Structure 1
Amino acid sequence: MAHPVFVGVDGSPAGLAAADWGAREALLRELPLRLVHAGEWPYSSVPPAGEEAARLWSEGVPREVTDQLRHRYPDLDITADHVIGLPRDVLCQAAKYAEILVIGTAGVGRVAGFLLGSVALAVVARAEGPVVLVRARPSAHRPAPGGESELPSPDPAAGAASSVVLGLDLSRPCDEVITFAFQAAAVRAAPLVVVHGWNPPPYYVYGLGAALKFGTDLSADERESVRQALQPWRDRYPSVGVTAQAVIGEPAHHLLDAADHAALVVIGRRRTALPSVPHIGHIAHAVLHHCPTPVAVVPHG
């Protein structure tokens, strides 16, 4: 049985952007789409409009988004649920049964960063499956005619020709991350750009070996390591064109540069021995806060 693409919706522009992205991803992967809205109002103070008004609004959010998606994507199998519970817990539970979980984040800009709320960070750090964070484009913040929230217009930068970018860390096993990136490129018929950031050992930089090997033998060895790591997936996905880079410096910076013309950026999150202590790592943290492109965070290890 195929796992659906899950999307967390909350009626915000970021949630609508996530819903539209998730719908297109479900179509690409030929999977059903399931919308989830978590209503936590029973656990907090009653809003000024009253408990009944809050309940009706909360139940209406997934229904309204479903209607818009069905109008735009009539061939897509869509279901929607309103679940009582804390959004973080509801979405993490949904991730257990999802091919992909999609959530939205508010956009500001690459320099200023993006607004990652506590729910988004908690879900990315705890979810058992891949989580994609989608930015609300600036135009999505303008109210639609009539004052109702509407799906954003299709993003012209999200065409099939755009690449998928994979941040590759060779220091630990990351098969799940590589597999996800190749699958994402394959369903889009898009090229895959693999970015491996590395730094030479200090003794090569400050010792006698620097003059002989820095930038030559060491770089060649690193490129060969990347090639060998990717070869099983090149054989498994022969239709995916791969460009691999082994670049010196901070990986997050190189990933952000590569993301400028990408449809999706894929990075990994190492599972910790203590699941109760969430951790996403400094590279993932930097990419999530500054990358304008949708970012897939795939747990591994």
Structure 2
Amino acid sequence: MSKDTRSVTVGIDGSPASLDAADWAAREAERRRLALRLLHAGDEPAVPAQPPGPDRSILDRAAVHLSYAHPALEIIARRTDTPPVPALLAAATESETLVLGSRGFSGLAGFLVGSVALTVAAGAERPVVLVRDGELPEDERVPVDADTPPNRAPYLPVVLGLDLAHPADDLIGYAFDAATMREAPLQVVHTWTPPPPRGYATGARRPDDTAEQEDAKWRSLAVILQPWRHKFPETSVAEQVVYGTTARHLLKASTRAGLLVIGRRASAGKGLGRAAHSLIHHSMCPVAVVAHD
């Protein structure tokens, strides 16, 4: 890993969503004790997010705002005329994490996630976190009473969606690391749907076969996670094997999570699957997309 990867990079386009993403990225950089890089790619928008000062650019305004909110954070701002997709993909290779707003770079306010953000998430070599519009610092923490400062509240769980057929180290390691940094519990969810048994009509299942398959998945999940539990003994881990579609169960889990972590098989060359698209568009918390072999 080159020294340039010791940073969190966020794409800035002047939209409120990208500024919300920048604030999340600043908190993530502080948690990881990394520098924060602000990147504005392409042309300045025709209508800025707020009235500019005489010499204030999009990056200037974002950097000033973040420096006041995070005075100890090293902030590096850079602008490039390169179009957003290639610029962000290049930036991802030089960062530990790339962060994008859920409506940033789209140009179409009716879409939850813009085409640029989806394209980058589908092709970046490093983890990409998509932050929904309006995300607030307290949204990633457990609700507290009026006597407890929001920044002292415990973090909500990190949820990892795991395919037992492809239990990639990069994916699992990212989720454990994210939970450990937050001192948050980690919830590992595997979803499955058994195929129709041979010799039976479609939709018919032998209960004993289904139970055996589910038991086998529980055992497999425990074996996969055992070395990670040993490596991260301070992290509380809850395992879940559930019957049904991936998107349905992970979307439900996202309502009680501070971060949802999902994988993307880079070697498959197919980009984002249907479940990933659904999760990115509809998750109730930020979504980290981690490329793996």
Normalised to the residue count of structure 2, the TM-score between the two structures is 0.84
Q: Which amino acid aligns with 2:262?
A: I
1:31 paired with 2:23, answer: no
Q: 2:191 pairs with 188, 197, 214, which one?
A: 197
Cα distance, 1:205 vs structure 2: 9.9
Q: 1:226 to 1:76 in 2, by over 3 A?
A: same
Cα distance, 1:211 vs structure 2: 3.3
Instruction: Show the counterpart of 1:64.
Output: 61
Instruction: Show the counterpart of 1:51.
Output: none
Q: Which amino acid aligns with 1:99?
A: E
> C-alpha offsets along residues 228-286 of structure 1, whole Å, 9 cap, x if unaligned?
11111111101110001011110111000111011100000111455xxx521111111
Unmatched segments (≥5 aa) in structure 1: 49-53, 108-112, 138-151
> C-alpha offsets along residues 83-127 of structure 1, whole Å, 9 cap, x if unaligned?
1110111100000010100000139xxxxx961111101101111
Cα distance, 1:209 vs structure 2: 7.0
Q: 2:13 pairs with 5, 10, 20, which one?
A: 10
1:182 paired with 2:179, answer: no
Count of aligned pairs between the two proteins: 266
Q: 1:173 to 1:262 in 2, by over 3 A?
A: closer
Q: Percent identity?
A: 44
1:239 paired with 2:234, answer: yes
Contact 2:267 2:292 in 1 (8 A): no
SS of residue matched to 1:262: coil
Q: 2:258 pairs with 251, 260, 263, which one?
A: 263
> C-alpha offsets along residues 197-238 of structure 1, whole Å, 9 cap, x if unaligned?
011231179479713232x32221111111111111111101
Q: 1:93 pairs with 86, 90, 107, which one?
A: 90
> C-alpha offsets along residues 37-83 of structure 1, whole Å, 9 cap, x if unaligned?
01247xxxx979xxxxx9x99x7111110000000110111110011
SS of residue matched to 2:197: helix
CA distance in 2, matches of 1:85, 1:106: 20
Instruction: Show the counterpart of 2:159.
Output: 165
RMSD: 2.5
SS of residue matched to 1:82: strand
1:83 paired with 2:87, answer: no
Contact 2:186 2:235 in 1 (8 A): yes
Contact 1:204 1:210 in 2 (8 A): no
Point out 4+ residue stretches in structure 1 off by more than 4 angstroms: none
Q: Which amino acid aligns with 1:299?
A: A
Normalised to the residue count of structure 1, the TM-score between the two structures is 0.82
Q: 1:128 to 1:190 in 2, by over 3 A?
A: same
CA distance in 1, matches of 2:42, 2:230: 46
Contact 2:40 2:78 in 1 (8 A): yes
Instruction: Show the counterpart of 2:113.
Output: 116
Q: 1:114 to 1:192 in 2, by over 3 A?
A: farther
Cα distance, 1:171 vs structure 2: 1.4
1:156 paired with 2:153, answer: no
Q: Which amino acid aligns with 2:273?
A: G
Q: Which amino acid aligns with 1:210?
A: R
CA distance in 1, matches of 2:284, 2:245: 18
SS of residue matched to 2:258: strand
CA distance in 2, matches of 1:211, 1:78: 57
SS of residue matched to 2:227: helix
Q: 2:283 pairs with 291, 296, 299, which one?
A: 291
